[in-house]
Chain A
Amino acid sequence: MGAETRNLSLRLSLCPYWHGWDPTAGEPQSPLIAEDCGLHRRYLRWRRVRIARPDRDSLNSMNERPHKEQFRFPRWTNTIRPHLGLGLTVAPLYLIALIYYAFNPTTTMSGYQPPQPVEYSHTLHAGELGIDCRYCHFTVENAATAAIPPTEVCMNCHASILTESTKLLPVRESHNSGMPIKWVRVHDLPDFVYFNHSAHVTRGIGCESCHGRIDHMDQVAQEQRLSMRWCLDCHREPENHLRPVDVVTTMGYAPAEDQIALGSRLRLENQINPSLDCSTCHR
């Protein structure tokens, strides 16, 4: 019995469950109970080493760092190994596709439809009643912004139409108190972008090209993604959207001739050359 073994058996004897176990005598008789006994863990390690290398004096190697048992792939994995390359190329492609798809402005930016303080409907006013967009958004041709109409504009009609309607209560309240109705902004470009409605509307870009069929929206939703690429796509090829200036607010406009032919003709006639310079939009 070497000094090592003696040492261990002495220490093991401190474990209340393993009195009298002699490592040289091999496996202990009774089952292991004291799971959290440090010596117990050492025993397990000793046993593992002894089984793995029965030829060496296991007790000597007990105080060395134990050799980790190597992980071995099961044999069947050999059959799929030739195809691993495929998996390794598909996985990054998958990730790229997913990120492109998920963080595309179409996903993150379009489809925003906040609830509004008044159940105002464009389907009714702009669609059924056929009121021109410029009746309410009356600055659109002269200014950069297409102002949300002030309460007075609603009161033009609602001072004598549906004066008892509960849906119009906030409008009447605003009219009486002078406090504005808190409409929630739908389309919102970042503050570092300059956009100008009049530059587009007076040159023959219809509201529909950028806002979609507003006359079918009970509640306004952002239809386009309003990304820089979206702006540039049209600034490069405005032919796809140009229409005569007198029909800019028409919804569902269908030109009698081919859109590209019409667009190209209008572009030439009116000298329309949208700028691509950074300073046009970032000023």
Chain B
Amino acid sequence: MIPRWFLPVGIITLCLALVPFAIVAKIRSTKSTETRPQIIFDMDQQPKFKAQAVNGLFADGRAMRPRVPGTIPRGELQEDDHLYRGKTGGEWATDFPMEVTSRMMQRGRERYDIFCLPCHGYTGDGNGIVSQRAESLREGIWIPPLSYHSDVIRSKPVGNLFNTISNGIRSMPAYGTQIGTEDRWAIVAYIRALQRSQNATIDDVPAAKQSKLR
């Protein structure tokens, strides 16, 4: 005869056997603020510095050392005034230092949507979502950007626009570090396209398609 305690004890054991699984399931479904447990270290942490790692040897803790002021890395001497500063002969350049291609225009559009769109909006009239949010906060320090289609900006030479992106202007931040040189020129090209698009006349449309619009 199987004793009477056998069944309850068996059931309890089976239930207890499920507890570890329940614990693991909980771990899996919840977030943890702890790093994963490391039982065997292997070579997970090597005595080398990856990008943006911490190096206690320096006061600021950066393993990636900032450039020493006043020095130029090899091969990065920016001699070409036109390309790097948008100036020709001391004046704002009125033409592009490279050929404007449709590829460059596509690139400009993509970069514009990444970096300028938040503030300047899709068409460049200055009502990007960040700009709207900033105004709705009513702090009084936000100066909404001017529309690209105002005469002031339409009349600016491309070199000046390039400089605005690189170094910022008044409350507009500088994007020289975030955007590469070629990409900045591509954005300028796209701004020109935007300006053209918002101030277009029917004569800009190819004659064959004009009838469709009317």
* Interfacial residues, chain A to chain B (CB-CB below 8 A): 74-76, 79-80, 94, 98, 101-102, 106-115, 129-132, 134-135, 138, 142-145, 147-148, 152-153, 155-157, 159-164, 178-180, 182, 190-192, 221, 246
Q: Which residue from chain A places its CB closest to the CB of B180 in the assembled complex?
A: A142
B137 lies within 8 A of A112 (CB):
no
Asked if residues A163 and B139 are in contact (CB atoms below 8 Å), the reply is yes
A-B pairs with lowest CB-CB distance, top 3: A156-B173, A190-B44, A191-B46
**Which of chain B's residues have a CB closer than 8 A to the CB of A192?**
42-44, 46
> When the two chains form their complex, are residues B32 and A112 in contact, meaning their CB atoms are under 8 A apart?
yes
Whole-angstrom CA separation of A132 from B115 in the bound complex: 8
Contact A80 B2 (CB under 8 A): yes
Residues of B within 8 A of A (CB): 1-3, 6, 17, 20-21, 24, 27-28, 30-37, 42-46, 48, 50-52, 54, 60-62, 110, 113-115, 117-118, 129-130, 133-134, 137, 139, 141-143, 171, 173, 177-180
Is there an interface contact between B31 and A113, defined as CB atoms closer than 8 Å?
yes
- Is B62's CB under 8 angstroms from A180's CB? yes
Complex CA–CA separation, A160 to B48 (angstroms): 39
Do the beta carbons of A106 and B31 come within 8 Å of each other? Answer: no
Query: Looking across the interface, which residue of chain A has its beta carbon closest to that of B59?
Result: A179
**In the complex the two chains form, what is the Cα distance from A147 to B142 in whole Å?**
28
* A144 → B minimal CB distance (Å): 7
Given contacts A79-B2, A178-B60, A180-B62, A145 and B52 within 8 Å (CB-CB): yes
Contacts of B43 in A (CB 8 A): 190-192
Do the beta carbons of B27 and A107 come within 8 Å of each other? yes
Partner of B52, one of A115, A147, A156, A161: A147
CB distance from B116 to the nearest CB of A (A): 10
Check if A130 sits within 8 Å of B51, measured CB to CB: no
Q: Which residues of A contact B32 (CB under 8 A)?
A: 111-113
Max count, chain B CB within 10 A of own CB: residue among A94, A98, A132: A132
Known: A129-B130, A180-B60. A108 touches B37 (CB 8 A): yes
Given A130-B129, A192-B46, A221-B31, CB of A160 within 8 Å of CB of B143: yes
CA distance A114 to B35 in the complex (A): 8
CA distance A246 to B6 in the complex (A): 66
Say which residue of B31, B36, B42 sits within 8 Å of A108 (CB atoms). Answer: B36
Contacts of A179 in B (CB 8 A): 60-61
Complex alpha-carbon distance, A79 and B1, angstroms: 8
A79–B34 Cα distance when bound, in Å, is: 49
Contacts of A221 in B (CB 8 A): 31
Shortest distance from the beta carbon of B149 to any chain A beta carbon, whole Å: 22
CB pair A129–B129 under 8 Å, yes or no, is yes
CA distance A179 to B137 in the complex (A): 29
- Across-interface contacts of A180 in B (CB, < 8 A): 60-62
Q: Are A131 and B31 in contact (CB under 8 A)?
A: no
Which has the most chain B C-beta neighbours within 10 Å: A114, A115, A148? A114
